[in-house]
Amino acid sequence: MSNLDIYTNYKTVLSVNALIFSEGKLLLLKRASDKKVDPNMYGGIGGKVEPHEDFYSALLREIEEETGITKLKSVKLYSVTQHPYPPTDSEWVNLYFIVTIEKQIKVPNSEDGEFFWIDPNKLKNLPMPEDIKEYLKILVSNPDAMILGYFDHDSNGKTTEVKINLV
- For residues 136 and 121, give the distance between their C-alpha atoms in angstroms, rounded to a whole number: 9
Q: What is the pLDDT of residue 156?
A: 80
**Would you say residue 10 has pLDDT above 70?**
yes
Nearest of 162, 101, 100 to residue 134 by alpha carbon: 162
Q: Please, what sign has the CA dihedral across residues 75, 80, 86, 90?
A: positive
Would you mind telling me the total number of residues written for the chain in this entry?
167
CB atoms within 10 A of CB 88: 14
pTM of the predicted structure, to 2 decimals:
0.92
Contacts of 153 (CB under 8 A, 6+ apart): 83, 84, 85, 86, 87, 159, 160
CATH class of 5-166: alpha beta
The pLDDT-based confidence of 116 (bands split at 50, 70, 90) is very high
Cβ neighbors of 109 (< 8 A, separation 6 or more) are 115
Lowest mean pLDDT among 46-55, 83-92, 133-142: 83-92
